[in-house]
Structure 1
Amino acid sequence: MRVKNTLVKLLVGVAAFLPVAAGAQTSSINAFSPYTMYGIGEQNTPGTLSMRSMGGVGVAMRSTGVVNLLNPAAYSSIPQKSFLFSFGLEGQNYYNSQTVAGESKHTAYNTFNFHDIAFQMPVAKKLGLGFSLTPYSSVGYRTKYYHEYDPSDPVWGNVGRVQYTYQGEGDVTEVKLGLGWEVFKNFSIGVAAQYYWGDIDRNFTMTPTAITGEGTFTSSVGIDTYTISSVKGQVGVQWSPIMNRKRILTIGAAFDIGGDLNPEVTKRIYIGDIYSTSVKNDEMHLPMVLPRQLSTGVYYQTAKWALGVDYVYQNWGDSNTDFEMTGVSGSERTSYKVAYTNTSTFKAGVEYTPSRYDVRSFLKRWSYRAGFRYGYHNQTFNGDRLAQYAVTAGFGIPVKLWAISAIDVGVEYGRRGYNIAERAGLVRQQYFKIAVGFSLFAGAQENGEYWFSRPKYD
C-alpha cells in the first residue's frame, strides 16, 4: 500500500499534538465553578466545534466533513477510500458573583485546553469506524468560609477566628471507539465502547487563630483522591426519510448506558489536637456516576442551509437518591441539601453557506453558524433547580476551493443559576468560550487521494 503525503502530515500533526493535549488535560483546571464541588463536576459540551457553534446539535447530523461525536450511527457516512481527522482547542473565562450579607463578591478565572481529537474512516462498504478523545467533565473550585469568634460558644469561645478553605481540581476523560453500519438504504445503526478515566482531588484546610495573637493551633487538612477507570457503552440509529440532490432530512437517536464509575477512593485526614475532637468530617455522599442518557434529534440540509434540533434527557436522580449537606447553619448563612436531579436540555442551531462552490468570492464559501441551548443543572440545592442556557456562534473557513477540509472558529456565552441565585443565596455564574477547530479530509472528493487502495503497479 502506497504511503500518502497527507497521511504522513496527519501522523506528524497527531504526534505533535497528543503529548501537549495529554499534558494539558492533567495539569490544568478546565473549569472554575463552585458547582463542581460534587460528583464528577461540570460536563463539557460534546461535539466538534462546528456542532458546538450550532448550540451543540448533531444527533441526527450526517456529514462527510464533520466527525459526529454524538451518534455512532453517523460513522457510516464516511466515503470509501477517505479519511477525516478533527482537532479542537478551547479557552474559557468564568465569572462568578454572589451576594453575602448584603455585600456583592465576585471572582474570575481563565482556562485553556484541548477539546477533542477525533477521526473517522471506512472499514468496508457502508461500514465506518470512529474514534474520539474528549474531556467529559472537569472539576475546579476554591472557596473560603470564616467562623467568627464567639465568646459565648462553649468550645469555640477559647479559639479565635477559624478559616475553612475548600478546593479541588481534576477531570474525567472519555475515549470512544465505535462502528456505524448502513443496514439498508438511508438507515444506519451504530455501537460504541466508551472508556472513562481520570483523577479528581478534593481537599479542605481548617486554620484557627488565637484570640489575642498568642498560642499555637494546628491546622487540620483533609485530602480525598478519586481515581476513575470505567467502561460504558452507547448505541445509536439514524434514518433519512428524505434524501435527494436538493435536500436531506435525517432523524436520529442515541442512548448512553451510563452507571456508577466506581472510583478508587483514597481519604487522608490530618487533625491537630484541638480539644481532642474532630473539627470537620468531610464525608462525600454524592456518588460519582454517569447518567443514563437518551438523545433525539432532527437535522435538515440543503445546499445553503442546515438546521438541527435536539432533545437530551439525562437520568441522574432515579437510582442516585443520596444527598450531601453543605454550608453552615445560622442567622446569616444557609445549609444546603445537595442532590442529583434528572435533566432535560433543548438545543437548536443553524448553518448558512451562501455559495459553497463560488470561484469569485471567498467569503461566500464560508459557513456561518449560530445556536441556542437551554436546560437545568444536574444538582438541586434545597430542592431548587438551577436553570442554565448558552448562545453560540461561529464560522467555518474552507482551506481551498471546493475543499471539505476547514478551519472553524466558534464562541459561546452562557449563564447558570440566574433564576434562583439571588433568592437562595447561591452563586450566579456566567462564562465565555472561544475555540478553534481543524478538520482534515483526505479523499478523491477533495485532493484526488485514494486511501486504503492497492496500487496497480509497484
Structure 2
Amino acid sequence: MLGIGNIRTDSYDYGSGMAGATISLRDGRYILDDNPASLPFLDDHYFAMELSGSFESINYTGDPITTPTRSNQAQFQRFTMATKLTKFWGAPWGLKQFSSSNYSLYGQKNIIGTSDYITTYYEGTGGINQVFLSNGWSLGKHFSVGLNSSYLFGNMTQTEYLYGENYVGSQLNTSNRLYYAGFYFTGGLQYQGKISDKLLLGIGMTASRNMTLKGDRSLSMSAGDPDEGSPTNIIADSSLGSTAFRIPDMLAGGVSFTYDRTFTLAGDYQYGKWADAGNSTNGYNYKYNNSSGLSIGMSYAPRKVFTYQGQYVEVEKYRLQGGFYLNHEYINMYGQQISDKGVSLGIGLFSKRSTLGYMLNLQYGSRGTTLNNLIKENYFKIGITLSYRDLWKKRRLQ
C-alpha cells in the first residue's frame, strides 16, 4: 500500500533457484538481468528469448486478523530477447515488472466527534513496469562492463468503499490514482579468472544513481454499489496536481566460485539508501530505512556435447539449484523494519527435440512481523521461465 508497492527483488531468470545470487555470474545460454556486464558472454551466433511468470500463495497472520486469510495471485514477470551484436558486445531488450501493488482488506473508520464506526473496504491495484535496453562489452578475456537503460512507467489505484448509509446516504466510492514515469540506469562491472585449472573466481558489482519518478494524481468519487448497477458520478477523474517518488542510490556486489564448470557457489549483497531519498511519510506511522539484502545460492549443472545443425554444441544436461535469502526492506512500520527471508529451489530441463529450456523455481518464506499489531506474511511462490534460442546468422562475428 505504501510507496510504489512491492519492489521486485526476485529476478525470475537463470538464478531464481539460487535466491537470485547472479551478480558475479556469466552464462552463454541464459540472459542474466542483475548485471549487464554479463551480456557479452552470451553464445556467438545465437539469439535468445525468455518468458517468465509466477504464482504466489500468501497466508496472513496477526492479531488484527479474526479469520484465516489467504490470497493467491498469478503474474507475468518478464519478457526479454538478446543476441551478440559483435564478438565483444551483447544486448538484450524487453519488459518486466519493477513493482506491484495488489491488495484488498476491510477496516473500520471512526466518525469524527462520535463513537460510531463505518465499515470500509479498501482495494489496491497496479504497479510500475520497466521497458529496458541493456548493453554489455567485454574488455578482454576477464573484464567486462555494462549499462542497463530503462523507462519506468505505470499507475496505481486505491479505491475506498464506505458502507455507512446512515451517514453518507448511500455507499460512497472514492478512487485515488497515481501515474508515474521516469528513466532509470544501472551500471555493472565484472571480472572472472581462474584460480586453478578447474576453479573459476567471479566478482561483480552494480550501481544505480538516484532518480525521481514524476507523476500526476487524480481522484474520482461516486455513490452507489457498483455490483448493483452504474453508480452516480460525483467527481469524475479530477486532477489533484503532480506527485513524485524518489528511488535512491543502490549498490550491489557479488562473488562466486565455479568448479570444473559444473558446481557453482555464489553470494550477493545489496544496499539501498532509502533513508536519504526524501520521500514524505505523510503523517502515517511509517518511515523509510536503508535497505539491505543477502542471498547465497548453489548450482549443479553437468554438461554434454551433441551435434545440432552440423555443429558441435555443448549444453547442460540439467540444472539443480538451492539458496537462501534475507532482505531488510525499506519500509519501517510502527518501529519495525520489514524483513523478508526464505529458501529457494530450482531445476532446469532442456527439450531433446528443440532448443527450448525450462527453469522451474520454488520459494518458501516469511515477510514482516506480528509485533506492534502488525501482520505477517507466510508465502509460497512458483516461478517458471521458458527459454528459447536458435542460430540467427551463420557468419563470423566482427
Are the counterparts in 1 of residues 180 and 244 from structure 2 also a CA contact under 8 Å? no
What TM-score do the two structures reach when normalised by structure 1? 0.74
* 1:451 correspondence with 2:389: no
How many residue pairs get aligned? The number is: 371
Name the counterpart of 1:261.
213
C-alpha separation in 2, matches of 1:316 and 1:226 = 21
Deviations 1:36-85 (CA, angstroms, capped at 9, x unpaired): x1111012234233311100111111010210101111111123212222
TM-aligned CA distance change 1:122 to 1:99, over 3 Å: same
- Alignment partner, residue 122 of structure 1: 84
**1:3-23 deviations in Å (ceiling 9; x for gaps):** xxxxxxxxxxxxxxxxxxxxx
Q: CA RMSD in A?
A: 2.9
Structure 1's 188 and 209: CA in aligned 2 closer, same or farther, altered over 3 A? same
Q: Is the 8 A contact 2:38 2:136 kept in 1?
A: yes
How does 1:388-403 map onto structure 2 within 5 Å? 388-400=340-352
Greater shift in the superposed pair: 105-114 or 121-130? 105-114
Matched, 1:194 2:150: yes
Check 1:177–1:452 CA distance in 2 against 1; reply closer, same or farther (3 A cut): farther
- Say if 2:214 and 2:243, in contact at 8 Å, map to a contact too: no
- Measure how far apart 1:271 and its partner are: 9.0
| Counterpart for residue 295 of structure 1 | 252
Amino acid at match of 1:58: T
% identity of equivalent residues: 20
Q: How far does residue 269 in structure 1 lie from its aligned partner after superposition?
A: 4.9
Match of 2:135 among 176, 179, 196: 179
Question: 1:436 and 2:359 equivalent?
Answer: no
Distance in 1 (alpha carbons) for counterparts of 2:257 and 2:243: 40
- Larger Rg: 1 or 2? 1
Q: Distance in 1 between matches of 2:183 and 2:77?
A: 21
Does the 8 A contact of 2:39 with 2:90 survive in 1? yes
Partner of 1:275: none
Distance 1:216-1:139 versus aligned 2 partners, 3 A rule: closer
Aligned-partner residue type, residue 389 of structure 1: K
Unaligned runs of 5+ residues in structure 2 are 225-239, 307-315
Partners of 1:89 and 1:180 in 2: how far apart?
A: 25
One-letter amino acid of the structure 2 residue matched with residue 341 of structure 1: N
Aligned equivalent of 1:373, options 320, 325, 328: 325
- Deviation of 1:242 after TM superposition, in Å, equals 2.1
For the structure 1 residues 216 and 266, does the alpha-carbon distance in structure 2 shift closer, same or farther, using more than 3 Å as the test? closer
Q: Does structure 1 conserve the Cα–Cα contact (< 8 Å) formed by 2:216 and 2:243?
A: no
CA contact (8 A) 2:29 2:43 kept: no
Deviates more, 1:134-143 or 1:376-385: 376-385
1:399-426 per-residue CA deviation (whole Å, 9 max, x = no partner) reads 239x9752111111121113xx1x3100
* 1:132 CA drift (Å): 3.0
Q: Distance in 2 between matches of 1:169 and 1:191?
A: 31
Taking structure 1 as reference, are residues 216 and 231 closer, same or farther at Cα in structure 2, changes over 3 Å only? Answer: closer
1:413 matched to 2:364:
yes
Determine which structure has the larger helix proportion and give its number: 1
Structure 1 CA distance, aligned partners of 2:243 and 2:282? 6
How far residue 165 of structure 1 moved from its aligned partner, in angstroms, is: 2.1
Alpha-carbon spacing, 1:301–1:285, altered in 2? closer, same or farther (3 Å): farther
Match for residue 311 of structure 1 among 269, 272, 291: 269
In structure 2, what residue type is equivalent to 1:253? M
TM-aligned CA distance change 1:452 to 1:225, over 3 Å? farther
Q: C-alpha distance in 2, partners of 1:119/1:145?
A: 44
TM-superposition CA deviations, 1:306-349 (whole Å, max 9, x none): 111000001212122521344xxxxxxxxxx1111111100000
Q: Distance in 1 between matches of 2:77 and 2:160?
A: 29
Match 1:74 to one of 29, 34, 38? 38
Tell me, in whole angstroms, the C-alpha distance in 1 between the residues paired with 2:130 and 2:163.
Answer: 38
Q: Match of 1:332?
A: none
How far is 1:260 from its partner? 1.7
**Residue 234 (structure 1) shift:** 1.1
Mapped partners of 2:377, 2:242: distance in 1: 25
CA distances 1:141-178 after superposition (whole Å, capped 9, x unpaired): 112222479xxx8x336xx5411222211011111101
In the alignment, which residue of structure 2 is the partner of 1:20? none
2:279 aligned with 1:324: no
Q: How many angstroms apart in 2 are the aligned matches of 1:156 and 1:133? A: 50
The one-letter code matched in structure 1 to 2:7 is Q
CA distance in structure 2 between the partners assigned to 1:121 and 1:99 by the alignment: 52
Superimposed CA distance per residue, residues 205-252 of structure 1 (whole angstroms, 9 cap, x where no aligned partner): 333244xxxx87244433211112211111110011327763321100
Closer, same or farther: CA 324–197 of 1 in aligned 2, 3 Å: same
In the other structure, the counterpart of 1:92 is 56
Q: Measure the CA separation in 1 of the matches of 2:170 and 2:275.
A: 40
**1:52 has 2:16 as partner:** yes
* Residues 1:50 and 1:132: Cα distance change in structure 2 (over 3 Å): same
Partner Cα separation in structure 2 for residue 267 and residue 393 of structure 1: 44
Shift of 1:288: 2.8
- Matched residues in 2 for 1:165 and 1:183: separation? 56
Per-residue CA deviations over 1:345-364 (Å, capped at 9, x if unaligned) read 000000113x32299xxxx9
Tell me the equivalent position of 1:133: 95
- Distance (Å, rounded) in 1 between the aligned partners of 2:333 and 2:47: 47
Q: Distance in 1 between matches of 2:210 and 2:49?
A: 27
Contact 1:65–1:405 (CA under 8 A) maintained in structure 2: no
Deviation at 1:97, TM superposition (A): 1.8
